[in-house]
Amino acid sequence: MKKVLSVLALCVLVTGSLFAGGGQELQMEDNVPVIRIVSKDVSESNPWDKAHLDNITAGFSAYVGQEVVLEFVDMPEGAYAEKLNLMLLGGDIPDLIYFQGGDEAISKQGILEDLTPFVADSAVMQEVLMDFNKQRMANYPYLLWIAPPRARTAVVREDWFEEAGGVMPVTIDDYYDMMKTIKMNHPESAVVTDTGNTGRMDFTFDQAFGNTATWVMEDGSYVYKGVSDAQKEKLAFYAKLYSEGILDNDYITTKWDTMEDKLYTGQVGMVFGTAGIVLDIYNNKLQENQGVGLVALPPAKGVGQGYPVSSAKETRGWAISALSANKDLTFQLLEYLATDEGQFMERYGLEDIHYTMSGSDVVLTDEANNWWPRFHEVMSWDAPTPLMGPAGMKGWEFIMEYSVGDPDFPIPEELSPTWDALSNLQKEYTFKLITGEYSIDMFDEFVKEWYDLGGERITEYANSVL
């Protein structure tokens, strides 16, 4: 029996060693500093990623005047946030870490470096960071994310827009008139759809109705926009669009892919997309399927006008490990990638694959559509050859012109169950009010229920921090 037990113990030890985590990697190779980077969908086994990293390594070494080794840490397949957390739990903490959620629990333990002093001392960062980036970093100084705000721009197919008069809508009434005319011209289709909620549409209409921020001022104190007077008016407007068949009656079960499919097959004529290259993709696919392009529309003008951009915190971005032996160098890498030289590599990709040089001009190849920046997308970077088509450029211009700061704040952990319950209550009422299952007068009942369920406590907290 002792032998059997010994064999079993050996099995456990052998299998246990399979699951033992690796320790921290050495930070120096022959006195050359090593910066280890972990990111989503990026790996040294991908030839494009490897070649891009080699280019960055050469450029960065010249930038800092010393040899530096950059390494991408390979991650197993699967949900990135989950795998990253497990890797960090195992004690393997790279120098530069990309987060897409799940960072707060880690920053609370002091593992992520406060980037405030680095950013304050960097002329490059001061130039490329937008106001909303700076506000987010003031609230949560552990993540740096240089990219356009993820606001959604309204786009309408060009032929339907022209049939409806071809005049750029400005006010809410203008939007309604345009959509009503499109519906009359194409009664078999809905005009506009969204993906499971009205989150995309809200970018165009929130400000116009008076929801100028996540927390709006009413009678001298802050009120959550979901229970504001402006929200009631907005939902009444959406309910009208729904009842007249202008808003797709299946928007609640529509996902992003079915939304696109509805646009390309003529089931709807207007959607909302992330400004920039995404609008170009919509435009090109619509051209392929229907032979027409898209027209980008500005946010509606009313009480306010603009795309609200939350200042709560970055929801994704780059963090530097507080345990890194090369913190300064790692930040310099982030800085370098935001310079003109860094952006050239980041935005155009690999020479002779994604672009070629004709004299001093950059000529994009067909593969250019398959390239995406691995680190930063600086909005203010002046690309020598335009990277986007007309639809993408127009959406980009609207974002630059109409982005409006939203002085929001992160919900603390102890209030997150309450916040979750309130969000669900709002979701269900919103759907029922829009579809007419509840009359709009029920909005007042919802507001009362929202406060009773815990909204009172959250509102008190909001007024104490804003």
Binding piece for other proteins, criterion CB under 8 A, among 3-11, 47-55, 297-305, 353-361: 3-11
Q: Which of 249, 380, 385, 463 binds other proteins (CB under 8 A)?
A: 249
Q: Are 59 and 341 in contact (CB under 8 A)?
A: yes
Kindly state whether residue 8 participates in binding other proteins, applying the rule CB under 8 A: yes
Distance CA 194, CA 271 (A): 7
Binding piece for other proteins, criterion CB under 8 A, among 171-179, 284-292, 366-374, 413-421: 413-421
Q: Which of 42, 88, 230, 263 binds other proteins (CB under 8 A)?
A: 88
Q: How far is CA 115 from CA 39, 283, 318, in A?
A: 18, 39, 10
Least distance between other proteins and beta carbon 104 (Å): 6
Q: Are strands 294-297 and 152-157 parallel, antiparallel or unpaired?
A: antiparallel
Q: Is the sign of the CA dihedral 156, 162, 165, 168 positive or negative? A: positive
Kindly state whether residue 15 participates in binding other proteins, applying the rule CB under 8 A: yes
144: phi then psi, degrees, rounded to nearest 5 = -120, 125
Kindly state whether residue 412 participates in binding other proteins, applying the rule CB under 8 A: no
- Distant-in-sequence, close-in-space partners of 53: CB < 8 Å, separation ≥ 6: 44, 70, 71, 72
Q: Is 24 helix (H, G, I), strand (E, B) or coil?
A: coil
Q: Is 457 helix (H, G, I), strand (E, B) or coil?
A: helix
Closest CA to 305 of 214, 177, 402: 402
Q: Which of residues 136-195 bind other proteins (CB under 8 A)?
A: none
Least distance between other proteins and beta carbon 401 (Å): 31
Q: Give whichever of 176 and 451 is closer to other proteins, judged by the CB atom.
A: 451
- Distant-in-sequence, close-in-space partners of 363: CB < 8 Å, separation ≥ 6: 355, 356, 357, 385
Closest CA to 118 of 316, 319, 374, 315: 319
Kindly state whether residue 253 participates in binding other proteins, applying the rule CB under 8 A: yes
Least distance between other proteins and beta carbon 420 (Å): 5
Kindly state whether residue 20 participates in binding other proteins, applying the rule CB under 8 A: no
Q: Is 240 helix (H, G, I), strand (E, B) or coil?
A: helix
Q: Give whichever of 101 and 117 is closer to other proteins, judged by the CB atom.
A: 101
Q: Which of 165, 166, 417, 436 binds other proteins (CB under 8 A)?
A: 417
Q: Give whichever of 131 and 413 is closer to other proteins, judged by the CB atom.
A: 413
Least distance between other proteins and beta carbon 447 (Å): 16
Strand pairing partners for 78? none
Kindly state whether residue 312 participates in binding other proteins, applying the rule CB under 8 A: no
The number of helix segments (H) and strand segments (E) in the chain equals 19, 14
The mark string for 194-233 relative to other proteins (x by CB under 8 A, - otherwise) is --xx------------------------------------
Q: How many residues bind other proteins (CB under 8 A)?
A: 48
Neighbours of 312 (CB within 10 A): 16
Least distance between other proteins and beta carbon 308 (Å): 20
Q: What are the helix (H) ranges across 121-213?
A: 123-128, 131-139, 158-163, 172-185, 199-209
Kindly state whether residue 432 participates in binding other proteins, applying the rule CB under 8 A: yes
Note the residues at the interface with other proteins (CB under 8 A): 1, 4, 7-8, 11-12, 15-16, 19, 81-82, 85, 88-89, 91, 93, 101-106, 109, 111, 196-197, 249-250, 252-253, 323, 413-414, 416-418, 420-421, 424-425, 427-428, 430-432, 435, 453-454
